[in-house]
Amino acid sequence: MLWLNSGSGKMQNSLSISDGDGCSFGPLVVLELAENTEAEAITWLLSRIRDKQQNGGADLLVEQLPLGGQEKQKVNRNVFLVGSTWQRLLNGAEDLGLFKEFQDGTMRGFTNANRESFKEFQGEGDGFLSISECQYIIKHELDTLRAKDETHVPGYLKVRLYPGKSVIRRLQSKGILVQYFPLHDKGELKRLSSSWYKKIKLSFQPLNDIRHYFGEGLALYFGFLEYFTFALMPMALIGIPYYLFDWENYDKYVLFAIFNLVWSTVFLDVWKRRSAQLAYGWGTLSRKKAFEEPRPGFHGILGLNPVTGREEPTYSNSKRQLRIYLVSLPFVLLCLYISLHVMKIYFGMETWALSIYNEDPNFLTSVLLFIPSIIYAVVIEIMNLLYRYAAEFLTDWENHRLESSFQNHLVLKVLVFNFINCFASLFYIAFVMQDMALLRHSLATLLITSQILNQVMEAFLPYWLQRRRNKKVHKRVRRMMGDQELPMVEQVQLESEMNTYLGTFDDYLEQFLLFGYVSLFSCVYPLAAVLVVFNNITEVYSDAFKMCHVFKRPFSEPASDIGVWQLAFETMSAIAVVTNCALIGLSPQVQAYFPEADTQLILTVVTVEHILLAFKFILAFIIPDVPKHIQIKLAKLEFESLEALKKKKMLEAAEISKTNK
């Protein structure tokens, strides 16, 4: 039985909730059912969770949260704690194909059969899996708990089931299951946060510890954030003297643009290798993806799934295409039109402010010059936010069967809009108005305003709301229990009221836009890189803080790379080649070389640009995505499994020939 003592120190991973507390096992995951759930349904669900695997159950431990005596307060009593035995978790790890470090230092899929050969396996296997891995396994087992022959959830005639339907997903989409989340581990969290953000000295983040506590997906995000920030350092260092000595000579930016070009190409290729290295060390690089279940919100008429042969909801692809092309696409286009219209208003305001300043140039009117940009930056942020919700609603309505397809459509919608919304005005200023002074001014205002807004929206606001809520909960729990301390109950209550972390989407999106500001136009405003570096240093701290204290602990998500974002960043860097070449072509320095023939200047710039783009593709093609030493390790693993298979075949053949004789 999995029993996690915080004080014993024997196990590396221990939950702080312990000492009996009225629960007979170490709880890992909390299930919260709706307050008015029928008793019949609860009994049924608990028995399905507890049932042996052979009978189609999840074979987990589950108990009600012990709330103690006679309370009449409005507290949801339908909160359940889920735990597991070590053996069950090890079986789950094998089912999921979790990779762990082998004795020889390579990463291999865990199997119970040769578990003794894994590096950190001791005794019965306590502490072999990290708490976040255990929670991930439990989530997977709950998610794949399937209906057998039930036609509906007991007590709810209308909540229909069919063989093979995920019980948890149905309960969730019908609102019977309010939420389920993994518990924080106070001890480990304290250790993590002190090595992560509770120190002032500059150093690398403890990525392995972050991965250990939050999983690979989040650790890769922080790894990328760190890498991006460090990669910006040289650009920031070059930017400062540029800024100091050439403030009004914005014709000397050619060298900086060339630097930008090379940097944005190399940056992403090196990251790919670094991410492969991280993912290999975490065992997610060569792990096979699990078979994808339909997403919770997916609905449709019952039909046959051609892949599994099971009955499940199906939704015709042509209907979805109609929704995408007849509703979503026009909506996106409309939003883009509105965004461009707002841009036009901004330019109107800009001209108006300038005319006032020209009429009577004093301090007040010179401040007024900045107002339009600031207002525009705020409006952009608000529009991005509103559009984000609309895009999510629309993509949800498109009724994608798989989470990955949903994500791709959402990312595409959001990226296109954000790109146009944030950068259209800069493109217009740079290439239509060709006003480099305004470009610099506008870029600076946009960047600074959006950074300030982001930090407020992302960390301080949720934290403040959180604190207010926590105080209330603390009070309620105290009142409920008299003055008696009941730390586990309190922890569960507190965490269940925390905000839910919605994934890395918004964090990556922010980095994507910052990357855009830096790579597209920073040559005319060299301080951009400096600003982004400062932003990202505070971002690390505020993101780390919000992960540890503002949000519920998220289930760890295995990831081998940053997924669709790699493509997004690469697209941006290809666009950066175009803009930097164009900016070089517009620079007075270069134009001086072609005093009379505009045509020749343009042709030269275009030719150089094509060569650079071709070079970029060749470079991306030549640099291997996975470092050599990891390639060798992967090949070794494959070779060994082939050899093992051959040996097995040979033995079988020998046995057959023996019995035939």
Q: Is the CB of 312 or the CB of 543 nearer to a second copy?
A: 312
Q: Is the CB of 70 or the CB of 317 nearer to a second copy?
A: 317
Report if residue 646 touches a second copy, rule: CB under 8 A.
yes
Give 497-553 as a DSSP string: TSBPP--SHHHHHHHHHHHHHHHHHGGG-THHHHHHHHHHHHHHHHHHHIIIIIBPP
Min dist CB 648 to a second copy, Å, is 11
Chain-centre distance for alpha carbon 104: 32
- Pick the binder of a second copy from 578, 590, 620, 623 (CB under 8 A): 578
Dihedral of CA 427/432/434/440: which sign? negative
Q: Which amino acid is at 471?
A: K
Phi and psi at residue 559, to the nearest 5°: -145, 140
d(CA 149, CA 462): 44
22 DSSP assignment: T
Min dist CB 309 to a second copy, Å, is 8
d(CA 258, CA 581): 8
Report if residue 642 touches a second copy, rule: CB under 8 A.
yes
- Pick the binder of a second copy from 358, 484, 599, 659 (CB under 8 A): 599
Contact 173, 187 (CB under 8 A): no
Report if residue 432 touches a second copy, rule: CB under 8 A.
no
Q: Is the CB of 27 or the CB of 125 nearer to a second copy?
A: 125
Min dist CB 299 to a second copy, Å, is 21
| Among the residue ranges 72-80, 161-169, 222-230, 638-646, the one whose residues contact a second copy (CB under 8 A) | 638-646
Report if residue 465 touches a second copy, rule: CB under 8 A.
no
Q: Is the CB of 6 or the CB of 53 nearer to a second copy?
A: 53
Element (H, E) at 207: helix 207-214
d(CA 586, CA 608): 14
Min dist CB 307 to a second copy, Å, is 4
Report if residue 564 touches a second copy, rule: CB under 8 A.
no
Dihedral of CA 425/540/569/611: which sign? positive
Residue numbers 261-300 binding a second copy by CB under 8 A: 291
Report if residue 322 touches a second copy, rule: CB under 8 A.
no
Write down the residue that tokens 């994808």 correspond to: 292
Strand partners, 181: 30
Min dist CB 609 to a second copy, Å, is 9
d(CA 305, CA 321): 19
Report if residue 639 touches a second copy, rule: CB under 8 A.
yes
d(CA 184, CA 188): 8
Contact 180, 136 (CB under 8 A): no
- Pick the binder of a second copy from 53, 85, 277, 407 (CB under 8 A): 53
- Pick the binder of a second copy from 603, 611, 619, 644 (CB under 8 A): 603
- Pick the binder of a second copy from 465, 635, 644, 648 (CB under 8 A): 635
Give 264-276 as a DSSP string: HHHHHHHHHHHHH
| Among the residue ranges 20-28, 304-312, 389-397, 435-443, the one whose residues contact a second copy (CB under 8 A) | 304-312
- Pick the binder of a second copy from 602, 611, 619, 644 (CB under 8 A): 602
Q: Is the CB of 287 or the CB of 553 nearer to a second copy?
A: 287
Count of residues making up the chain: 661
d(CA 330, CA 335): 9
Q: Is the CB of 209 or the CB of 570 nearer to a second copy?
A: 570
- Pick the binder of a second copy from 306, 389, 484, 595 (CB under 8 A): 306
Dihedral of CA 399/402/407/412: which sign? negative
Q: Can you give the binding site for a second copy, defined by CB under 8 A?
A: 53-54, 91, 94-95, 291, 306-309, 578, 598-599, 602-603, 606, 610, 632, 635-636, 638-639, 642, 646, 649-650, 653-654
